[in-house]
Structure 1
Amino acid sequence: MNTVKNVTVISLVDQIAADFTQVARLAGVELPNTAIIVEKLPAPHFPPQKLPVGKVAVYVFARGDQTLKVGKVGTKSHARYTSQHYNAGSATSTLAASILSDAGAHSLNPDDLVGMGSWIRTNVDRVNFLIDESYGRHVLALLEAFIQCKLEPKYEGFKSQAGTA
């Protein structure tokens, strides 16, 4: 397991961004040190209002030292980036739906179940890794995969994929 216990995920993200520039270099992509913009949104947080023009992103939701979800968005995925993860019924594989299906692990009360978006904003940290879309979809996919490997999110993929290689 790659996660470091007793260290918040949000405290690791600057090093993750720096490490990724080395990974990209191994893949033949030169990224300047300023290529990745890291936005740290500790709980309680406000979701981003929009994906900046010309940017793509990998986002991370974490609670303390536990990474909950890692995902990526392209330039046409504004709703996925800004709102879908805060609403269980908005799309497939949202953070809200994953937490609701695992409510016991988060000690949720009935009010939390009704106001899942509010619970996420209040209790979950969010980090956005933004890069220029000009780097292409392969670099975005590599960044997402690298962060998933580093942080091992609890809610990733589908239950039917669990334990598959």
Structure 2
Amino acid sequence: MKELKAKLLSVVRLTGTVISEDQIQILDRGVPHKPAGLPRGKMGIYSFVYKDEFLKIGKVGPNSDARFRSQHYVPTSSQSNLAKSILNDPDFKCFNLTEDIVGDWIKQNIRRIDFMIDASLGIFVLNLIEAFLHLKFKPKYEGYKSQR
């Protein structure tokens, strides 16, 4: 994680943006994991990893705690979320997951890595870091298959 953080700081600095090490935190919540809220004054990037494959990477601004904390565990909570993607993925059919249990299954079986970014850095820094992570890890449920 130290190497990844150094790369993120470097790519942000390449734009001429002043950023200190303490303005980005990487929190590996592990497997199993407990979702946590978005701290005051922070923006966030969440990522979900299953068997070394990134499934989803997304961002939230400082006022999007529900998206950060809970929506990815409830398939009916939003138009696009991890739970819904897993339920629609043939690779996960063998687990016999349903809308009622998929959230708990995610918490027990999928690694979550959160990136906390000082809100003072602004939306463009958040967008840049998310784009960097998308390009580096190519998450399964991001983008369109026709675009790859």
TM range (shorter): over 0.9
Mapped partners of 1:14, 1:84: distance in 2: 28
Match of 2:23 among 25, 35, 39: 35
Work out whether 1:51 is the aligned partner of 2:38.
Answer: yes
Unaligned runs of 5+ in 2: none
Unaligned runs of 5+ in 1: 1-12
CA-to-partner distance for each residue in 1:94-139, whole Å, 9 max, x for gaps? 000000000x3125433x3230000100000001110110000000
Contact in 1 for aligned 2:23/2:117 (Cα 8 Å):
yes
Task: Please identify runs of 4+ aligned residues in structure 1 that moved more than 6 A.
Answer: none
Mapped partners of 2:136, 2:18: distance in 1: 21
Mapped partners of 1:154, 1:58: distance in 2: 16
Contact in 1 for aligned 2:44/2:115 (Cα 8 Å):
yes
What is the CA distance between 1:28 and its match in structure 2?
Answer: 1.2
Q: What is the aligned partner in structure 2 of residue 66 from structure 1? A: 53
Letter in 1 for 2:129: L
What is the CA distance between 1:79 and its match in structure 2?
Answer: 0.7
Work out whether 1:116 is the aligned partner of 2:94.
Answer: no
Mapped partners of 2:134, 2:30: distance in 1: 19
- RMSD of aligned alpha carbons: 1.4
Letter in 2 for 1:60: S
Contact in 2 for aligned 1:16/1:147 (Cα 8 Å):
no
Identity of aligned residues (%): 40
Normalised TM-score (structure 2):
0.93
Mapped partners of 2:32, 2:41: distance in 1: 27
Contact in 1 for aligned 2:87/2:93 (Cα 8 Å):
no
Normalised TM-score (structure 1):
0.84
